[in-house]
Amino acid sequence: MRIGVLALQGDVREHLRVLTALGAEAVAVRRPDELRSVRGLVLPGGESSVIDKLSRAFGMQHPIREAISSGMPMYGTCAGMILLADRITDGIVGQETFGGLDITVRRNAFGSQSDSFETDLDVPVLGDIPVHAAFIRAPLVTRTGDDVEVLARLDDGGVVAVRQGALLATSFHPEVSGESRFHQLFVDTVRAS
């Protein structure tokens, strides 16, 4: 099973490593022909505005939007969540998303790099053992549509993991904290598609 990681900017290697450890054929995706060769795509953490600009420069924005529309499974972490959101607040002037998830996200909702933190989250869909989550200049979901399933919340109720159809997104970086269950959930989604 061939799964891609959008390799324009961000923590690409970490995602490739986790997917490979789970038995997927994980490949870097930079061009439309590489996107056509995969069954699912991870949108990594990084800088959402930079990934947006590079996706346009590399001719990837429209092919990714078309892949989402055609039902290709995608998993966005941190900046990837922002890119999958239909609506964004606090974006830079002219910033666009790929869309697909009926959510509104706020960029850098927890502050700057120095405000990064780690915490344990209850994620019932992944079992009883809490998920150790690393939040690095993370977004926060401020609104969800009716068809969006909330998978995890912070203690204050803030939404940090969602799923809608074949699209999965987390505010945090499981690939950084050694957590593989979200990637396994994504691999299972790709396998079932």
Domain positions in the chain? 2-192
Is residue 78 part of the annotated active site? The answer reads yes
What is the per-residue pLDDT across 25-37, written as a single tens digit (0 to 9) for each? 999 999 999 999 9
Active-site pick, 14, 15, 173, 183: 173
- What sign for the dihedral angle of Cα 6, 73, 2, 187? positive
Give pLDDT, residue 109: 82
Identity (one letter) of the amino acid at 26? A
pTM of the model: 0.95
Identity (one letter) of the amino acid at 97? T
Length of the chain equals 193
Active-site pick, 15, 175, 179, 183: 175
Q: How far apart (Å, rounded) are the C-alpha atoms in residues 66 and 83?
A: 14
12-41: average pLDDT:
97
Confidence check: pLDDT of 114 > 80: no
> Which range is least confidently modeled, 21-25, 97-101, 172-176, 180-184?
172-176
Active-site pick, 14, 15, 78, 179: 78
Q: Rounded mean pLDDT of the chain?
A: 95
Is residue 175 part of the annotated active site? The answer reads yes
Give pLDDT, residue 187: 98
Is residue 183 part of the annotated active site? The answer reads no
111-126: average pLDDT:
87
CATH class, domain 2-192, is: alpha beta
Q: What is the band of 176 on the pLDDT scale with cuts at 50, 70, 90?
A: confident
